[in-house]
Amino acid sequence: MIFGRSERRKTPVEPVTLKILVAGGFGVGKTTLVGAVSEIRPLRTEEVLTEAGRPVDDIAGVERKSTTTVAMDFGRITLRDDLVLYVFGTPGQDRFWFLWDELATGALGAVVLADTRRLEDCFAAVDYFERRSIPFIVGVNCFDGAARHPADAVRQALDLDPDVPVVLCDARDKESVKDVLIAVVGHAAEAAEHRQPAAT
């Protein structure tokens, strides 16, 4: 009792947890994005690129890359007290795509990370999410020295539906990545509303 009144304790709120995927081509910045935004030490499954893998790993345009994700990246970010995102980065190479189905199970939505210097590398991810009706946005990772293209030009080049958001971002910057994740949550929520049958 404080001054004749009982002190009410707030009941702890059990947060809603949402699963977001980050996909895209090899070397586009998926591991960097997950690490930039995660409030915990991110789980990474990176291995060193070897000579044995050179015939199957296309490193054109990312010649300085020395490691690759072989299973997934995982991070967590609390957007609000009642909303937590689990962020899973997918492997980029074709030979690890068999893992995508497992990672996509239960996902609210996805970010297809794109590099405009190698835009064709994200076609497979766009196609994957379109075929499975998983809401996604395209995050254009603005690399240093790369030409900047307007969002509409990227949309046209990828032949995206008009309702798919295209967001310019810096995968190294926490605030920029947060904006991307907020955009995908909002887009997924809108997609869920459109899927609900109208009340009669």
Provide the CATH number for the domain around residue 87.
3.40.50.300
Write down the mean pLDDT value for the chain.
82
Please check the confidence at residue 163 and state whether its pLDDT lies above 70.
Answer: yes
Percent of the chain with pLDDT over 70: 74
Closest CA relative to residue 33, chosen from 165, 172, 136, 180: 172
Which range, of 49-63, 67-81, 124-138, 176-190, averages the lowest pLDDT?
49-63
Residue 200 lies in a domain: no
Please check the confidence at residue 48 and state whether its pLDDT lies above 60.
Answer: no
> Higher pLDDT residue, 31 or 55?
31
Residue 188 lies in a domain: yes
Span 196-200, average pLDDT: 58
Residue 11 lies in a domain: no
Length of the chain equals 200
Q: pLDDT band at 86, cuts 50/70/90?
A: very high
Amino acid symbol at 121: D
Residue 5 lies in a domain: no
Residue 168 lies in a domain: yes
Please check the confidence at residue 11 and state whether its pLDDT lies above 80.
Answer: no
Span 123-132, average pLDDT: 94
The residue range of the domain holding 23 is: 16-195
Please check the confidence at residue 34 and state whether its pLDDT lies above 90.
Answer: yes
Q: Full-prediction pTM beyond 0.85? A: no
Domain count, the chain: 1
Residue 114 lies in a domain: yes
Residue 61 lies in a domain: yes
For residues 41-67, b (16+ Cβ closer than 10 Å) or e, as one string?
ebebbeeeeeeeeeeebbeeebeeeee
Span 73-80, average pLDDT: 90
Please check the confidence at residue 61 and state whether its pLDDT lies above 80.
Answer: no
